[in-house]
Amino acid sequence: MIWLVTAMRCEGEKIASMFCGDMTHIVTGIGPENASFTINKLIDSGEAGPCDKLVNVGVCGAGEDVPARSIHFIDKITDMVSGKEYYPDLSLFPSDTEERNIYTSDDIVTITKPGELYDEEASAIFEAGQKFFSPDSMLFIKIVSDHGTDIPSKSDIADMVFAHKDTIRSAIARLMERAGQQEDIFIPDLKDMLCLTEAMSHDMNNLLRYAAAGGKTELILKYIEEQKAEGNLPAKNKREGAVHAGRIKDILIG
């Protein structure tokens, strides 16, 4: 399943109509608080599956040098309030894909800088989404609607997003192809071995799936066998398990 996430209905309604039963369109409402609440609600509902993908499509503001109505794939998200940075994984896409950073504000940005994109939801969507979706399972696509002034109407927004329907359809098709590949990826079950809670187990499996796609599964299997040989695994309690889970995470993202 592809979860299409937009701040406004007009940003995704036409796109969602192209995918029928393979996509569910979620409208968060404008702003980081609405975005965070909606994504957390989706995760807590249990409706999302382990091979599902999250796609955020929407319009954004930009510096004067970035053409209006141009489309961009986001490879870095910076939260302008917290300073935190997030990195969607675009390794699936061609090297000539138009990639840019985006800055997320808690309000509309009216003073822009050259080369920069701005929105109000991306960082909140990624931050909440990473509790369930791995970086290569989240795709952020932005279309420049304005340069800090002359905000377009909802009708204009719908048209400028849908004008890129072929590019968006192709990108989502790539994600769906990856989902099919991930169903066949071997993921070691570490829940009992590390005394993980359901939430921690899901987070670990998500991380392992991402690592497997990058060919790092052998590193984890080697660590597990070494710890078994030393008598450190299976973990005797949740505290010990949490230590090993932390080490595994360091191996995978180090």
Do residues 26 and 143 both lie within one domain?
Answer: yes
**Is position 190 within any domain?**
no
**Is position 131 within any domain?**
yes
**Is position 191 within any domain?**
no
**Is position 189 within any domain?**
no
Do residues 18 and 128 both lie within one domain?
Answer: yes
Whole-number mean pLDDT of the chain? 88
pTM (whole model) above 0.85: no
Do residues 214 and 161 both lie within one domain?
Answer: no
What's the pLDDT score for residue 210? 66
**In which domain, by residue range, is 237 found?**
198-253
**Is position 80 within any domain?**
yes
Do residues 96 and 211 both lie within one domain?
Answer: no
Q: Nearest-CA neighbor of 102 among 152, 143, 151, 133? A: 143
Classify strands 71-79 and 85-86 as parallel, antiparallel or unpaired.
Answer: antiparallel
Total count of domains within the chain:
2
Do residues 11 and 45 both lie within one domain?
Answer: yes
pLDDT higher than threshold 70 for residue 253:
no
The dihedral through the CA atoms of 57, 206, 170, 15 has a sign that is negative
Q: Nearest-CA neighbor of 119 among 135, 138, 97, 141? A: 141
Q: Determine the angle formed by the axes of helices 9-16 and 154-162, rounding to 10 degrees.
A: 40
Of 54-58, 124-128, 170-174, the poorest mean pLDDT is in: 170-174
Q: What are 82-118's pLDDT values in tens digits?
A: 999 999 988 778 777 889 999 999 888 888 899 999 9
Q: What are 34-89's pLDDT values in tens digits?
A: 999 999 999 888 898 877 899 999 999 999 999 999 999 999 999 999 999 999 98
What's the pLDDT score for residue 213? 59
Do residues 106 and 222 both lie within one domain?
Answer: no
Strands (E), the chain: 2-6, 23-27, 53-62, 71-79, 85-86, 99-104, 117-119, 138-146
- Write the CATH number for 42: 3.40.50.1580
Q: Is 162 left (phi over 0), alpha (psi -120 to 50) or beta?
A: alpha
